[in-house]
A and B are shown apart, each in its own frame.
Chain A
Amino acid sequence: MTGERMPGPVCDSDHCITCGDIAVEVRVVRLMPDGLADVDTGAGEERVSVALVSASPGDTILVHAGEAIAVVVK
């Protein structure tokens, strides 16, 4: 087994999803009901929660584990 990768999906080396340290900056495309929003990640659209921030379409937000924790001031 030594030298072989463990089976199943693994995190890529640039992105740890358990810690906010490498949280992702994304752009809000549209706000959705229930505190959710569709965002542009640069590699496609994803739906995340924006319930904890005051974000509008066009804003860049910092998302960690599917939850926006800050609006980035550009």
Chain B
Amino acid sequence: MRFVDEFRDADKAHALAAKIAALCEPGRQYKFMEVCGGHTHTIYKHGLEDYLPEAVALVHGPGCPVCVIPMGRVDDAMALASDPDVIMTSFGDMMRVPGSQGSFFDAKAAGTDIRMVYSPLDSLKIARQNPDRQVVFMAIGFETTAPSTAMTMLRARAEGLKNFSVFCNHVTIHPAMKAILDSPEMGLDGFIGPGHVATVIGCAPFEWVARDYGKPVVVAGFEPLDILQSIYLLMLQLSEGRCEIENQYSRVVPWDGNPVALKVIAQTMEPRPTFEWRGLGFIPDSAMQVRESFADMDAERLFSVPGVRVADPKACQCGEVLKGVLKPWECKVFGTACTPETPIGTCMVSPEGACAAYYNYGRMNRTRVPEAAQAGRS
């Protein structure tokens, strides 16, 4: 396959498994969090846990933007979409996220004009084609998608489009990582850092994790060898007593990120005083809102948004899964009442959600590769 074969080489994966196993100190347990849902997806899809010694545990983090959206925010979006003058546009997996009254797909089936787009640019096209309707783009994602939303707003401004606005739900990764580091139950040894967030913000902004919390971060790519190599680099840091930010994904991630992308984000958005995360609650400065200078494109200013707060369904344990306290299969409703076809919680919706990833790829019996099984044996 184009671009990826060299990062999926089985011999190299076995060699890395051996190097990781060799670094395991007898009797010591290692716990690393992969922050990003994309990493969770790769880990399950390629069975990477089978390449790790029993002493090395991976904890799945909150880095799936669909999974962290609270139900109330979906209800707010639904309220916006129910205005007959509005065409709501949304990415595909957001369409299936359940609010308290059902998902976007349910609303669409009932006649609400909600359309799926692959890029915010598609929303602009819809706005041009429907000058008498207001097109509201449901903007979600971490720093990876924020540049796309920002550029779209700048393009709309340049074109003089008057019927395009954004319902901004962009979140930022650092406050969530801090909330996790402050959770007493976690006990992490380090982070597999979010590679594509770092593409935009760079590696330097992660330095506080090493400085203030004494945890190493290795910014990682998304192919199997990227992740195994990142785990090796984390183990190497621990064995050498180092605690640093390293960039494993240097083929894509510049140390300073993408300054042009950061500039357009800053031009159009600013930190939101507080934002609710599913499972983590309200976290200050953890999300973005549209700047005053773009108020004419801010759906929250243009329309009446109810600001709904909804408690998660009692059976749903997405919060614990997002914090890494529970493994997906430990949730009461995993794979029974909650499946990718009929999700109760957000973690089962997106392919990057830990529950969906485990449901799709992780449910079969697996055996550790010999290199990993030998770890800690003399």
Contact = CB atoms under 8 A, between A and B. Distances in A.
A21 B2 CA distance: 18
A53 interface: yes
Contact of B95 (A5, A8, A35, A48): A8
Given A11-B351, A52-B260, A66-B118, A20 B342 contact: no
Nearest to A23: B196
A10 B109 CA distance: 15
Interface size class of A (residues with CB under 8 A): 35 or more
B93 A18 contact: yes
B37 A65 contact: no
A32 interface: no
B145 A64 contact: yes
A25 B251 CA distance: 12
Contacts of A74: 251
Given A2-B342, A22-B222, A52 B92 contact: no
Contacts of B264: 52
Nearest to A10: B92
Nearest to B118: A17
B36 to A, nearest CB: 5
Interface stretch (B136-144, B182-190, B276-284, B294-302): B136-144
Contact of A19 (B37, B116, B120): B37
B144 A21 contact: yes
Most chain A beta-carbon neighbours within 10 Å: one of B103, B141, B195? B141
Nearest to B3: A25
A20 B41 CA distance: 13
Given A2-B341, A65-B119, A17 B93 contact: yes
Interface string A1-20: 11111111111111111111
Contact of B118 (A1, A35, A65, A72): A65
B108 interface: yes
Contacts of B112: none
A13 B175 CA distance: 28
B199 A20 contact: yes
A8 B350 CA distance: 15
B251 to A, nearest CB: 5
Nearest to A1: B342
Contacts of A11: 92-93, 350-351
Question: Chain B interface mostly helix, strand, loop or mixed?
Answer: mixed
A44 interface: no
B50 to A, nearest CB: 20
Given A4-B341, A62-B199, A69-B199, A19 B141 contact: yes
Interface string B144-155: 110110010001
B91 A17 contact: yes
B251 A64 contact: no
B145 A15 contact: no
B360 interface: yes
A66 B122 contact: yes
A8 B122 contact: no
A32 to B, nearest CB: 13
Interface string B88-111: 000111111000000101001100
Contact of A49 (B121, B141, B194, B351): B121
A13 B358 CA distance: 12
Interface stretch (B58-66, B75-83, B232-240): B58-66
B258 interface: yes
A42 interface: yes
Given A16-B38, A21-B194, 10 more contacts: A3-B341, A9-B92, A12-B351, A16-B64, A17-B118, A19-B63, A19-B196, A21-B222, A25-B2, A73-B252
30 contacts: A1-B342, A4-B341, A6-B103, A11-B351, A17-B91, A18-B65, A18-B92, A18-B93, A18-B350, A19-B64, A19-B145, A20-B38, A20-B145, A20-B197, A20-B199, A21-B39, A21-B144, A21-B194, A21-B195, A22-B352, A23-B144, A25-B2, A52-B147, A62-B196, A62-B252, A65-B145, A66-B119, A67-B148, A67-B151, A69-B147
